[in-house]
Amino acid sequence: MIKEEFCLADKLGMGGQALGAMMLSNKSMKSLMALVSGLSFLGLSCAAIAKNNQPDEKPPRIASASAIVVSVPVGQVLFEKQADDVRPVASLSKLMSAIVFMEQCRHVDLDALHQMSPENRMLAKGGDRSRLTTNWSYSNRDLLKAALMRSDNRAMPALMQSCGMILQEFAMHMNRKAIELGLKNTSFTEPNGLSKYNVSTAREFTKVILEASRFEVLNQIMQTKKDVITGYKNGRAQRFQLGNTDILIGRKGVDVIGAKTGYTDIARYCFTVLNRLVDNSAVAMVFLGAEGRNTRFGDFSRVHKWLTDRVGKYFAEEGRTPSDGT
Q: What is the set of active-site residues?
A: 91, 94, 151
- DSSP result, 148-179: HTS--TTHHHHHHHHTT--HHHHHHHHHHHHH
* Residues making up the chain, counted from first to last: 326
Residues 305, 246, 72: CA angle, nearest 5 degrees: 55
Which of the 8 DSSP states describes residue 42?
S
Spatial contact of 185 and 86, defined as CB atoms under 8 Å apart:
yes
DSSP string, 233-261: ETTEEEEEEEE-S-TTTT-TT-EEEEEEE
Return the beta strands (E) in the chain as ranges: 66-72, 77-81, 87-88, 113-115, 137-139, 199-200, 226-233, 236-243, 255-264, 268-276, 282-290
